[in-house]
Amino acid sequence: MDRETLKAYDLDAEAFAEDWETQPSPADMQALIRRWFTPGPTADIGCGSGRDAAWLNGNSYPAIGYDASEGLLAQARRRHPGVRFEQATLPALEGVPRSGFVNVLCETVIMHLPAADIAPSVRRLIDILTPRGTLYLSWRVTEGADRRDENGRLYGAFDPALVFDALDGADILLEEQVVSASSAKVIRRLIARRG
């Protein structure tokens, strides 16, 4: 995770969590999860406020939420006390077991990574899936050059080939660029199945 981005999330975790919790429901993402995920152990990588991990747990996808930010994890644990949350940072995801999950959700996280960390992060997301497990991966699209928002968060303008090359050997089931129903931002998302 980019250090300035992580610092921003830790410093203002409550405000970020409140914003995510009060956004419209991500109905488009939830519909894709229902279509492609298999009921069973699920990892929410970059879980933020815990909103999506809580939804997963309530919908046949028993989930553990992982995040790099201790501040956001504190918010997630307070807001969703029945859900398990752990600290882990891309690309290493130390402590997250190999082949431990039938589903992995990584919603709008990798755009906060330095470009050099994107491919190893995507490979690690596949690594934590069981054989034939399913990955939902999305990122906010930034055109031109990397930029930082008013909070200092990095939004990387990276070549999507970094993602697709790292998915070599996985089956791409869906790939699209859309406006998120929750954030109203342009995102690119894909569904991939581990070979």
The model's pLDDT over 122-158, given as tens digits with 9 standing for 90+, comes to: 999 999 999 999 999 999 999 999 999 999 999 999 9
Average pLDDT over residues 35-52: 98
Give the whole-angstrom CA distance, residue 104 versus residue 125: 7
pLDDT reported for residue 192 = 98
Domain boundaries, the chain: 3-193
CATH number of 3-193: 3.40.50.150
Name which of 59, 37, 158 is nearest 109 in CA terms: 158
Name which of 35, 92, 79 is nearest 53 in CA terms: 79
| 15-19, 85-89, 154-158, 178-182: the lowest-pLDDT one | 178-182
- Structure token pair of residue 128: 């934590």
pLDDT reported for residue 193 = 98
Give the whole-angstrom CA distance, residue 161 versus residue 159: 5
Phi, psi of 16 (to 5 degrees): -65, -45
The model's pLDDT over 66-95, given as tens digits with 9 standing for 90+, comes to: 999 999 999 999 999 999 999 999 999 999
